[in-house]
Amino acid sequence: MRTRAKNRSDLRVRRCARPIERRAGSDSAVLGIHGFTGYPGELAYPADELYRAGWDVRIPRLTGHGTCGDDFRRTGVRDWRRQVRDEWLDLKGRYERVCVLGHSMGGLLALDLARHQPVDSIALMAPAVGVRLPGMRLLKPLSLVIERRPYPWEPDPEYRFFDDRDDDDDAYLGAEYWSWSWIRALAGLLDLQKEVERDLAAIRAPILGIFATQDPVVGNRGADILQTALGDRFRRVDLAQSGHYIPYDPHPGCKERAVEAVIDWFADAGGRRRVD
């Protein structure tokens, strides 16, 4: 199952990881940012619903994702931050309004972007804020000697996917990405989390945070951190049954409620025309 790419020209982007573009002919756009070791297809359902609500949508593939583990190990937080900024600047040059939707790490990257750019509105799904891992203080020194270590992963048949994919995409990405704990990359991500949390008050954009009560990955501490720092600029939605993967959660009504909240939140920023 594993592949080894000698250089990036040899890489194949998995079908589910190709960037998603939806164009409704709007003057408003949503930039979607997927999570750590994730891929654009994880946001396919929100992308389709936002498009139906009249938004143009762009969900890029973050570098190192959706290809192979050897590619991922050559990238890191610095690359992803720069890419998100470049994607936003490109959209801002073409649209009157640009809102940002981020899931998990994508939520952290959205907040980081908003510290430096005038984002019109932000929606976060299970954002990687307030994450406090056991042994977290040891992660940085450990990353100097261990890049990754094995992690038990198995496919979950309960999840339904909404993207365009090949039958083996989930198994392939599971073997390449989700069967490992990426120590070095996680250490960089936690450093960014500290930086963003210290600077949250500098963000002027209104922010919607959607949190899963049953989230074993990032937890819910981030909701209180955001509320304290942002005050009236922050609104919280809790999903009682959902797990971490809100954009395609299998529990009835969870992903639908989350996406409806996002569409309503972005409505004041434009793009209300529904596409039939």
Report the alpha-carbon distance of residue 194 to residue 173 in Å, rounded: 29
Taking 50 as the pLDDT cut, the residues of the chain under it are 1-6, 271-276
Query: What pLDDT is recorded for position 269?
Result: 66
For 89, the token pair is: 């600047």
Nearest one of 193, 213, 192 to 126, comparing CA atoms: 213
Q: Which of 12, 55, 30, 10 is nearest to 168 (CA)?
A: 12
- CA distances (Å), 237 to each of 56, 106, 123, 200, 207, in order? 24, 18, 11, 19, 11
Exposure string of 142-176, with b = 16+ CB inside 10 Å and e = fewer, is bbeeeebeeeeeeeeeeeeebbebeeebbebbbbb
Model pLDDT, residue 9: 53
Q: What is the pLDDT of residues 141-172, one digit of tens each?
A: 888 899 999 999 999 999 999 999 999 999 99
Domains and CATH numbers, the chain: 12-268 (3.40.50.1820)
Closest CA to 38 of 9, 67, 78: 67
pTM: 0.94
Give the separation between CA 241 and CA 260, rounded to whole angstroms. Answer: 16
| pLDDT at residue 272, as a whole number | 47
Contact 127, 210 (CB under 8 A): no
- Decide if 270 contacts 96 (C-beta within 8 A): yes
Take residue 36 and report the two structure tokens written for it: 């750590």
Secondary structure of 61-108 in HEC code, one letter for each residue: CCCCCCCCHHHHCCCCHHHHHHHHHHHHHHHHCCCCEEEEEEECHHHH
